[in-house]
Amino acid sequence: MPKTINHMNAYIYFLHYFFAVCLSLIGFTSRVYADKTAMPGLDINDTIAHIGQEGYFVESVSFPDSDIAGAHAASLIDAPVDRVAQVVRQVEYFKDIFPQFVESKILSRVGKTSEARLEIEILGGLGKLWVEMRQRERTDPLGLIYFQQRGLAQRGSFDRYQFDIRITPQNGGTQSLFEVWSMVIPNIPLVPQSILEQENKKAARIVSRVARFKAMNIAYKPQDL
């Protein structure tokens, strides 16, 4: 009888261990999936389906903590993720890469985290906005590369400066899906909400378009953006 009890206890222990391992694996899978789809807007497959012949797609999206709509834009790029990521890593060259910036200066860099000061022209050059922001980069186990840009508190002309970028390998790594989410609110009174939302879509579209042109070494003109 004691042997039977010992065998039963061992069997029960094994079942507990087995289910604990299974639940941990399920939890890991869920965390990875949630991380890939945490941002608002269409999921990866639907985003790819909406990318047209011009190679990009843009939509307005709702952020849960804002009444102002942000934007989600995407480009399908014929380049591996690391080459695409290089466009975003070079914060000090943003003024040469993205047309909206007239100044980009690194303030500090530690590992994959950078702090930079950016200046942006508005009203056809009649005014400028500025922001000091922090950019963080990480890579997940599936090979996706993420960038997070956040304006530093009370260091700039923006009530909110937020960009999130996700670069996903496609077709065996020969292509990349570049996605960017924009939520930018300048500290300018009486700007209509519709204008702010249009500017968010414009900003997201430009970033996704420039990333595609730069990563593929395609010459472009301002009207192409």
CA distance 225 to 207: 9
CA distance 133 to 156: 9
Same domain, 178 and 81: yes
Phi first, then psi: what are they for 132, rounded to 5°? -105, 120
Same domain, 74 and 145: yes
Same domain, 25 and 129: no
Predicted pLDDT of residue 127? 80
Same domain, 164 and 212: yes
Same domain, 62 and 5: no
Predicted pLDDT of residue 11? 40
Total number of domains constituting the chain:
2
Predicted pLDDT of residue 173? 95
Q: Give Cα separations from 198 to 50, 58, 61, 70, 205 (angstroms).
A: 20, 11, 12, 9, 11
Predicted pLDDT of residue 39? 79
CATH code, 57: 3.30.530.20
* Domain span including residue 78: 44-224
Same domain, 74 and 30: no
Same domain, 105 and 210: yes
Q: Is 124 left (phi over 0), alpha (psi -120 to 50) or beta?
A: left
Q: Does residue 136 contact residue 113 with C-beta atoms inside 8 Å?
A: yes
Same domain, 111 and 191: yes
Q: Does residue 89 contact residue 62 with C-beta atoms inside 8 Å?
A: no
Same domain, 56 and 5: no
Same domain, 3 and 101: no
Low-confidence residues in the chain, pLDDT < 50: 1-37
Same domain, 164 and 205: yes
The C-alpha R_g of the chain, in whole angstroms, comes to 22
Same domain, 83 and 157: yes
